[in-house]
Amino acid sequence: MQTIQQDYSYNVLIKRVKENEKSSENDFISLPLDTVPNLLLGDVVEQLNRIPDKSISVIVTSPPYWNLRDYEVENQLGREKSPQEYVENIVKVGDEILRILRDDGAYFLNVGDSYVDKNLQMIPSRIAIGMQNRGWLLRNQIVWYKPDHMPSPVKTRFSNTYEPIFFFTKNDWEKKVCFDIDAIRIPHKTQGKIQKPKGNLYNGKFRGNEKNIGASPGARMSISDEKYTLKRKKELPLNIICDYLRYWREKRKIGIQEIDKILKYKHTAGHWFRKDAGGSLPLPDDWLKLKKILNFDDKYDREMTETKLVLQVVQNHPNGKNPGDLWRINTAKTGYEHFAVFPEEIPRMAIKSCCPPEGVVLDPFAGSGTTGKVARELGRKSILIELQSDFVKIIKKRCGEIKIL
């Protein structure tokens, strides 16, 4: 079912990319040759039209939120009469972005929500679903948690402390997406250390694996540490023990539920009489109890009860871990609060993870030029689009230098 859905979306998307492709290159700007940000002044859709097909590696942006600010300029987004109209406009911007984004590119969209009559409008989710319906792949809904969020006077609901950042790509199943996890690894909380065996040891199912690669409860317990667990000295194939137990149960005419009842278990004994993926071997203690119930011989006692201690190692990646989809980032303190400036860490994460060194970054709602500043610092070329020409001064100041096209 899932595959059908994905194929459908993919076909829709490819068709639309083709429809949107521009035949003439006459009106296109030349792509930047160095890291000086190029600024296109004007309405987002008009300006996106000037950018060549499939030329941008990463788009990272935060559009005006619905019904929040007035940027005092005609054609500004965010002043629509209803959330629906706003959502449609942002999704339309996505259509243009689809054309200019490289096939291996990424689109990071940070957008906030609004209340109407005390009712949260779920605007970010509507945008994300709208984009998915038009063929985009939503790779993550990143939570930007603001540890320094404003104290809120609300008394009848919980205060809002985060905003979503959507990470969209055009496709993934062709393995085209460029994602450099090594560029954004963060330090592990703990470094591996040996814990001496003590107290309750985990009697997990580690069949034949000396090194625990993280798929078992034992691994989850020992994440970032090294622990000892008990393991059978010799593992017998499940089907041999299962046949043996089945034979004795039939002979003694005892039901599985009865065994569970005697052992004070719920739905456990059944697993010992199964050969499929749901089957399991009784733990050593259970084996001895089962022996009393079924009164079987000593044939497998040794193999089923002799144990040894095994060091369970879950190794940290030497360069750190994946930062995950919850980003704790303080709000920006630039002194340009009226722009709703986003913290530099947002474009930094997007660019480092998804923009190859020669790639071009785009922010279609540039505001004070945060994305251009960060792209330049990271040695990436960038294009900024902004409607309000009053902001040019600030963009210049933040980016050092800009080129207006």
Cα Dmax for the chain? 90
Nearest residue (CB) to ligand SAM, 354 versus 385: 385
128 binds ligand SAM (CB under 6 A): no
Helix 83-100 vs helix 123-133: angle between axes, to the nearest 10 degrees?
40
Q: How many CB atoms lie within 10 A of CB 204?
A: 20
Nearest residue (CB) to ligand SAM, 91 versus 310: 91
Distance (Å, whole) CA 128 – CA 87: 9
Residues 59, 385, 399, 402: which binds ligand SAM (CB under 6 A)? 385
62 binds ligand SAM (CB under 6 A): yes
Question: Which residue in this structure is represented by tokens 């540039």?
Answer: 366
Nearest residue (CB) to ligand SAM, 75 versus 190: 75
- Provide the mask over 64-93, with x wherever binding to ligand SAM is found by CB under 6 A and - wherever it is not: x------x---xxx----------------
Candidates 62-70, 210-218, 225-233, 288-296; binding stretch for ligand SAM (CB under 6 A): 62-70
Candidates 12-20, 58-66, 159-167, 237-245; binding stretch for ligand SAM (CB under 6 A): 58-66
Nearest residue (CB) to ligand SAM, 64 versus 124: 64
Residue 1 burial (10 A CB sphere; 0-12, 13-18, 19+): exposed
Distance (Å, whole) CA 46 – CA 19: 17
Candidates 57-65, 118-126, 133-141, 206-214; binding stretch for ligand SAM (CB under 6 A): 57-65
Residues 224, 244, 388, 392: which binds ligand SAM (CB under 6 A)? 388
Residues 39, 44, 48, 351: which binds ligand SAM (CB under 6 A)? 44
Nearest residue (CB) to ligand SAM, 100 versus 387: 387
Q: How many CB atoms lie within 10 A of CB 302?
A: 10
The enclosing H or E element of 97 equals helix 83-100
Closest to 47 measured CA to CA, from 373, 368, 366, 371: 366
SS3 label, residue 47: helix
> C-beta of 331: minimal distance to ligand SAM in Å?
11
Whose CB is nearest to ligand SAM? 367
Helix 370-377 vs helix 392-399: angle between axes, to the nearest 10 degrees?
20
Answer whether 316's CB lies under 8 Å from 333's CB: no
Nearest residue (CB) to ligand SAM, 90 versus 137: 90
Q: Hey, which residues between 313 and 372 contact ligand SAM (CB under 6 A)?
A: 339-342, 365, 367-368, 370
- Dihedral angle computed from the Cα positions of residues 177, 180, 184 and 187, in that order, rounded to the nearest 10 degrees: 120
Nearest residue (CB) to ligand SAM, 160 versus 280: 160
Q: How many residues bind ligand SAM (CB under 6 A)?
A: 22
> C-beta of 39: minimal distance to ligand SAM in Å?
11
43 binds ligand SAM (CB under 6 A): yes
Structure tokens at 62: 């935060």
3-state helix, strand, coil in the chain (%, to 5): 35, 20, 50
Q: What is the DSSP letter of 390?
A: G
Q: What residue ranges bind ligand SAM (CB under 6 A)? A: 43-44, 62-64, 71, 75-77, 339-342, 365, 367-368, 370, 385-388, 391
